[in-house]
Structure 1
Amino acid sequence: MVNAKYLEKWEQGKPVDDWFFKQLMGQEALCRAFLNEVTPGKNFGKLKITTQDETDNGHNKKVIFDILAIDEKANYYNIEMQIVNQHNLLEWSLYYQSMMITNMLNPEESYRDLHYSYVIFLCEFDPLEEGDRVITTLERRIVENPTKELADKTRVVFINTNGDLQNVGGELRGFIQALKEELPSNSNSQLGKQLMADFKELKGNEKGRNDFMFFTEKEQKAIEQKRDIKIATLILNDDDLPSKYKIKLLTDILGDENQARNLIAQHNKEAVH
């Protein structure tokens, strides 16, 4: 869904948006180059890539993968871009991975036939609040023997695009810099240059631009307002969300911390009555 913020970033030429991300990462060459950096040791041939791939768990709980790539050995790679920290990324990644695994086996296949599954989140924040580390990889280990890796073929990778890029390999560093429109002119990152070139080509595609401009400015503002009202309502009604997070999230929506605090206080007062 296109809104006013997307339109503004299109005019500014900034590639850090969900719509652009799906269009770019849906291209096999770029997706393969990115996965080569994030999942070292894999030898990618062809990739089958789908965007906005939808599935559910049989109980109407739908999952829509931003990017779902399957390699020649039937390993699954889900790539997501997350701009807003909803403080549920661990649970989110677990659920998405479980849905990928559920779709791997046919009835006659053995559990030993399970393939690798990767969930990769590109975040504009520190997902685990551990500092400025860029890459965080999660895997299952034995509590009583933490040095032993289970090798159960599951991985979750969080990439903090605002982390310290000095400790990241040059190719991935260039990709993140290009994603943030900060790629230096003297960069040697072929991945970063490829991302920038693909983005410029996408911007020059008149059909893509026309599709992007489908909504009028009035419609975009109405859509954005309804979306923000819906998100604010969900935040207010979430009893498990700590107050400090409610204040921060509502401040981002309303643009005023005092207004956010007053809204929470009024909501709590009405809930009591």
Structure 2
Amino acid sequence: MSIIKTNAMNNFANADITDDIFFCRIMSEKQYALPLLQRIFPQLNIRSIEQPISQFTIKNNRKEHGVRFDVFSEAEQKYFDIEMQTTHDPTLGKRIRYYQGKMDSTFLKAGESYDLLPPTYIVFICTFDPFAEGAYKYEFSHIYDQTNHVTLKTGTHVILLNAHGTNPGSINGGLLNFLKLVAGEKATRYDPYLKQIQDKIAELKDNMQWRMSYMQEYNAIAVQERAEGIEQGIAQGRAEGLKQGKAEGLKQGRENSIALFIKNMLAQGSNKEEMLKTLMIGFQLSAEEANSYLHANQSIK
């Protein structure tokens, strides 16, 4: 059994709401996503939402850096992206900036007024305190630095939730209970919504078809998270390609990245079917292209 499969099985068995795949699957249902938005944004009085889309991807072409939103939904002409964040990321601020730009790029057609840009809300649910200030809820807006009372009305809203806050009186009880669930702690009081989430997790774990879907998704994510190996190949390819020009260098980097990836997968005991799927997803290759790379780098029976 490959390392990836072993890790996937362990993660599946121990998964809770902080597991990204489970979180996206559960929040793709209105009955779970709507109450969460209502708890995060009680001031908006959200009564209904459009069908949430999990792993919503925006990528216009192969050359640009795409984005994949965990859970994306619309409610009364407002747009929401909800992310589960379990690791410290020093680039989180710039990541949010890029997410915002990508989201905005889908709203306007040529010639349309900027006034048509709808309100957007980007939410990161963190299993850690991103700023070490003890707040459960960090909200950001564009405010004039000198006076702190002049706001630039961009219609954008960024919220970072901290599951380990120290000021429970600053947020509503429903949101506090949900963050307690994220933190793996007991809620302050019985909450039917939390019970529904926990029951759904148990139901999914008993579903063999969902288990297979989880394994496939975990495998795809593992490919994309092989940052070190891919970056190593790109760096090597760029260095070799400098003599041939930038375009050749980038091409060489991609070739080396794929070759290094195949080498790593072979070392982990992956079979041909696994490798084909992950090559196609991770490098956006056709089945024919993926097969060609496999044959060029290693003969697999």
What's the TM-score, normalizing by structure 2? 0.65
**Change in CA separation of 1:104 and 1:229 when aligned onto 2, cut-off 3 Å:** closer
**Paired position in structure 1 for 2:126:** 123
C-alpha contact (below 8 Å) 1:140/1:149 kept by paired residues: yes
Deviates more, 1:97-106 or 1:39-48: 39-48
How far 1:5 moved relative to its partner?
4.1
**Paired position in structure 2 for 1:63:** 67
Q: Within the alignment, does 1:23 sit opposite 2:25 as a pair?
A: yes
Q: 2:168 aligns with which of 166, 174, 177?
A: 166
**Paired position in structure 2 for 1:37:** 39
How far 1:196 moved relative to its partner?
1.7
Summarize the alignment of residues 180-259 of structure 1 with structure 2, pairs less than 5 Å apart: 180-184=183-187, 187-213=189-215, 227=226, 229-230=228-229
C-alpha contact (below 8 Å) 2:30/2:52 kept by paired residues: yes
Q: 1:77 aligns with which of 72, 77, 80?
A: 80
For 1:33 and 1:181, the matched residues in 2 are separated by: 19
**Change in CA separation of 1:181 and 1:5 when aligned onto 2, cut-off 3 Å:** farther
Residue-by-residue CA offset, 1:216-248 (whole Å, 9 max, x unaligned): xxx97xx68x837538969xx9xxxxxxxxxxx
State the secondary structure of the residue aligned to 1:22: helix
C-alpha contact (below 8 Å) 1:32/1:47 kept by paired residues: no
For 2:16 and 2:119, the matched residues in 1 are separated by: 33
Deviates more, 1:82-91 or 1:169-178: 169-178
Summarize the alignment of residues 48-59 of structure 1 with structure 2, pairs less than 5 Å apart: 48-56=51-59
Greater helix percent: which structure?
2
Q: Within the alignment, does 1:144 sit opposite 2:162 as a pair?
A: no
C-alpha contact (below 8 Å) 1:25/1:31 kept by paired residues: yes
Summarize the alignment of residues 86-101 of structure 1 with structure 2, pairs less than 5 Å apart: 86-101=89-104
**Change in CA separation of 1:230 and 1:83 when aligned onto 2, cut-off 3 Å:** farther
How far 1:101 moved relative to its partner?
1.1
- Aligned AA (1:69): S
How far 1:141 moved relative to its partner?
1.2
For 1:232 and 1:82, the matched residues in 2 are separated by: 23
For 1:101 and 1:182, the matched residues in 2 are separated by: 36
For 1:149 and 1:212, the matched residues in 2 are separated by: 44
- Aligned AA (2:103): M
How far 1:6 moved relative to its partner?
4.2
**Change in CA separation of 1:69 and 1:164 when aligned onto 2, cut-off 3 Å:** same
For 2:179 and 2:168, the matched residues in 1 are separated by: 12
State the secondary structure of the residue aligned to 1:65: strand
For 2:29 and 2:167, the matched residues in 1 are separated by: 25
For 1:181 and 1:52, the matched residues in 2 are separated by: 24
- Aligned AA (1:60): E
Aligned pair count reads 226
Which structure has the bigger radius of gyration? Answer: 2
How far 1:24 moved relative to its partner?
1.1
**Paired position in structure 2 for 1:110:** 113
- Aligned AA (1:83): T
- Aligned AA (1:62): G
State the secondary structure of the residue aligned to 2:70: strand
Instruction: Give the superposed CA RMSD.
Output: 3.1
Residue-by-residue CA offset, 1:117-140 (whole Å, 9 max, x unaligned): 11111112222x232211100111
For 2:128 and 2:114, the matched residues in 1 are separated by: 36
For 2:101 and 2:146, the matched residues in 1 are separated by: 25
User: Percent identity between the aligned chains?
Assistant: 24
How far 1:143 moved relative to its partner?
2.3
Q: 1:14 aligns with which of 8, 13, 16?
A: 16
**Change in CA separation of 1:173 and 1:7 when aligned onto 2, cut-off 3 Å:** farther
How far 1:179 moved relative to its partner?
2.9
For 2:127 and 2:15, the matched residues in 1 are separated by: 18
C-alpha contact (below 8 Å) 2:129/2:165 kept by paired residues: yes
